[in-house]
Structure 1
Amino acid sequence: MSVFSAIGEDREIDRDEFTPGIEPQATWCPGCGDFGVLKALKQAMPEVGRTPDETLLVTGIGCSGKLSSYFESYGFHSIHGRSLPVARAAKLANPGLEVIAAGGDGDGYGIGGNHFMHTARENHDMTYIVFNNEIFGLTKGQTSPTSPKGHKSKTQPHGSAKDPVRPMSLSLASGSSYIARTAAVNPNQAKEILIEAIEHDGFAHVDFLTQCPTWNKDAKQYVPYTDVQESDEFDFDVTDRREAAEAMYDAESRLYEGEVLTGRFYVDSDRPSYGAEKRATEEMPEDPLAERYLDEDSEWERSADLLHHHR
């Protein structure tokens, strides 16, 4: 077991351990898809074998940001669009920690879009759950990066003139090594996908369709849905980038036509994570940097000192 925390503890884990005592009941609107994310995550963690003490959940701003309040683990509620850089720093400092980041479509694909692209490119070992409801919910219904073209809102009263972001296609082009889409109305699939994403060694991106009955009447509940792994209509190799790209483009197009395609779209299990690459080149130590805080004999290195030695 790590001296830094309970990492490596081998025991039975109950999903109820992930329900906080202070704020156990979520206060999202009735019918909100965010409840589905919380339920799936609570069900996934015991299957992964991680305890609350071994887990960090970093959230952004928005309805999705409340996730860290309703999920018992280490948590960090970051500012808008900045959950990924915080999560990256935590993972690099303590690689044994299970790091999960979460944000909404506005938070993740808009305000934090640059962080999303580069975190994927570098293949940091973490899971990124994006609550995609095609709207800014907490700020009362503004057009978001995934709102369909023509969607009318407070910020686009005559209808959006912009095509929506294609999140999975963007994720693939940026370099994510695990990409999936699931929906709050498909709880069993959501749990299984989150288990796979968390266990994946690299950057795992889950586009999680979460209906917003309060501010986005157009998206309804994302039903009926089709699991691309279970349907005879779809037969593509999730390890082939070209085939995955075509499947993603098809799924992203059909969503705005009323057909919801969910499932695994791309998996690259061979590519090393950013941390593994850094440790292989000895740019990062094998021992977690975080443990130096508890080691009185540890010698701290300062970048300024290193620059001084090279003069």
Structure 2
Amino acid sequence: MSAFNAIGDEREIDRDEYTPGVEPQPTWCPGCGDFGVLKALKQALPEVGKTPEEVLTVTGIGCSGKLNSYLDTYGFHTIHGRALPVARAAKLANPDLEVVAAGGDGDGYGIGGNHFIHSARENHDMTYIVFNNEIFGLTKGQTSPTSPKGHKSKTQPSGSAKTPLRPLSMSLNAGASYVARTAAVNPNQAKEIIKEAIEHDGFAHIDFLTQCPTWNKDARQYVPYVDVQESDDYDFDVHDRAEAAEMMRETEDVLNEGTVLTGRYYIDDDRPSYTQEKKAVGELPDQPLAERYFDDDAEWERSYDLLERHK
């Protein structure tokens, strides 16, 4: 039995199934890069054979947090910076569920930065898409962790004195087993990267450049962009950690100088996911927790039954 009857069914899936029956009018600004994330995700999910009933989309607060309002899957809108712990809990409770977490650069790299580091370190099996527009958008244009040095905003009217955070390098150093960057202006690449991330067994982090035409005009449109896999100017092995780190360093160095590099940066297919490691040591039950709620005969363990008493 399954907690969700659709899990395990094999059938043709149309991307329109991911559009709500009564489609809400998006409140993103015209020209916002968030539309590109939504489109790429709607294209990728059917190609990996996932129905809306097999997917959970967990979002934080901000413009990016509206994603699951426009995507017909199971959805959970969390508080600021807390998308990942909710997503991790859902995946542990129902490992068959495909979990996609999403948040902005302020939500994911700032307020939720601690959760990001440890989700990558533990290699939880999920896809994490960070809408990176180098600004706090929904709260009207404050400096974010990825805002470039010198960027002027309401909170830094004289220009930011801080060097921006390096999300790709941080992700690699924390332990993510799939790290990529794409952009809303590159929809075909975005779809393929999201598809690969969903199929990857482990923590897949996508730094998704999304232009903000309202509050961050300095970022322009993140064009022209260069796909590092297709360019003859860049040659590195995505499975080699040292080469990936060097390519990430170069990518993050030149972003605010007008050169936008995108593509896959690091892939480790051999590292076991957190779920696999927990199963290996016997700390995940054979019957997922989510299914017990649908099984009147299920036996429930309590922590005091599993731990030895202190003497």
TM-score bracket, shorter-length normalisation = over 0.9
For 1:72, the aligned partner's letter is D
- 1:207-222 aligned within 5 A: 207-222=207-222
Residue 66 of structure 2 is aligned to residue 66 of structure 1: yes
**3-state DSSP class of the match of 1:182?**
strand
Is the 2:4–2:54 Cα contact (8 Å) retained in structure 1?
A: no
Superposition deviation, residue 4 in structure 1: 3.5
Q: Counterpart of 1:170 in 2: which secondary structure? A: helix
Tell me which amino acid in the other structure corresponds to 2:186: N
Aligned residue number for residue 94 of structure 2: 94
Q: Percent identity?
A: 79
Aligned AA for 2:148? P
Shift of 1:26: 1.9
Q: What SS is found at the alignment partner of 2:58?
A: strand
Give the corresponding residue for 2:55. Answer: 55
Letter in 2 for 1:127: T
The amino acid across from 2:89 in the alignment is A
Take 2:3 and 2:95, find their aligned partners in 1: how far apart are those partners? 13
- Alignment check: 8 A CA contact 2:110 2:144 kept: yes
CA distance in 2 between counterparts of 1:89 and 1:18 reads: 23
- The AA in structure 1 aligned to 2:257 is E
Gaps of 5+ in 2: none
Q: Secondary structure at the match of 1:294?
A: coil
1:203 CA displacement: 0.1
Per-residue CA distance 1:128-179 (angstroms, 9 max, x = gap): 0000000000000000000000100000001101000000000000000000
TM-score (norm 2): 0.98
- TM-score, normalised on structure 1? 0.98
Q: How far apart, CA to CA, are the structure 2 residues paired with 1:308 and 1:47?
A: 47
What CA distance in whole angstroms lies between the structure 2 residues aligned with 1:107 and 1:300? 35
Give the deviation of 1:310 after TM superposition. Answer: 6.7
Most deviating of 193-202 and 4-13 = 4-13
> 1:138 aligns to what?
138
AA of the residue aligned to 1:146: T
Aligned 8 A contact 1:4 1:290 in 2: no
What is the match of residue 32 of structure 1?
Answer: 32
Contact map agreement 2:140 2:215 (CA 8 A) in 1: yes
Deviations 1:5-60 (A, max 9, x none): 31111111000000012334322000000000000000001101000000000000
Q: Measure how far apart 1:3 and its partner are.
A: 4.4
1:75-101 Cα deviation digits (max 9, x unpaired): 000000000000000000000000000
User: Does the CA contact (< 8 Å) of 2:4 and 2:53 recur in 1?
Assistant: no
d(CA) in 2 for partners of 1:282, 1:309? 20
Q: 2:3 and 2:126 mapped to 1: Cα distance? A: 22
Equivalent position SS for 2:217:
coil
* Two-structure CA RMSD over aligned residues (Å): 1.1
Measure the CA separation in 2 of the matches of 1:72 and 1:182. 23
Partner of 1:305: 305
**1:305 CA displacement:** 3.3
Amino acid aligned to 1:18: Y
**8 Å contact kept, 1:4–1:294:** no
Q: Tell me if the contact between 1:203 and 1:273 (Cα under 8 Å) persists in the aligned partners.
A: yes
Q: Secondary structure at the match of 1:23?
A: coil
Q: Shift of residue 2 of structure 1?
A: 2.3
Matches within 5 A, 1:1-311: 2-307=2-307
- C-alpha spacing 1:307/1:283, structure 2 compared with 1 (3 Å): closer
Unaligned runs of 5+ in 1: none
Give me the whole-angstrom Cα distance separating, in 2, the residues matched to 1:309 and 1:162. 50
Q: Which residue identity is paired with 2:270?
A: D
